[in-house]
Amino acid sequence: MDLKDLENKRVMHIDTSCKLYERKNTAISFRIVKSNVHKGLVLSYKLKKELKRALNVDYDWARIYAICIHQLIKDDLNNFDILIICGDENYIYVKKYLDILFNDDPLYKNKSIHSLYELRELTGKKKLKSYADNTARSYRRRGLKSLRRQQNGREIFPVRIGYKEIKDKWLEIEEMLKS
């Protein structure tokens, strides 16, 4: 990846509103640079507690992050060329789990995936923030509210995700890692 790629290709940023292990609701969202396309999902504190108890996710929040990213971008693989993932969780593990989840998807194989840290080094801007930072905050504040109450301000497009979807993907990754 170089600066010309950033100018000529469609870049998608993914960010979280707060860390997954914090005792708050957590939103994960993406935003495509140079367009107004965005989408996000919210993990409630109650859901995170349930996942901690049932799947023992304390040791592997990167897997939950990868599962959420997969849910967000699986329908939008045609809309971007470069994916920038914010370093809220260990990037190496997140990328490894994404590769497992998108197993043989040819659209995913053509994407270039980088961390926000790599983008900062490339541009020379040490304080560069993710373009999805403010979007994630909006989803965290309004994503779990009723449809009528969430549409104040910029329109949001929340993706619904629940315990069952996360558990199924968790077990799928577990099975792939064992084989």
Return all residues near 54 (Cβ < 8 A) that are at least 6 apart: 163, 167
CATH number of domain containing 41: 3.30.420
pLDDT in tens, 41-71: 888 888 989 999 999 888 889 999 999 999 9
142 has pLDDT over 90: no
Which range has the worst mean pLDDT, 26-30, 132-136, 147-151?
147-151
Q: What is the end-to-end Cα distance of the chain in Å, rounded?
A: 32
Is pLDDT of 32 > 70? Answer: yes
According to the 3-state scheme, what is the secondary structure of 58-72?
HHCHHHHHHHHHHHH
* Both tokens assigned to 124: 């020379």
Say whether pLDDT at 146 is over 60: no
Pairing mode of beta strands 38-43, 82-85: unpaired
Number of domains composing the chain? 1
Domain assignment of residue 167, given as a range: 3-178
pLDDT of residue 164: 93
Overall pTM > 0.85:
yes
pLDDT at 5: 67
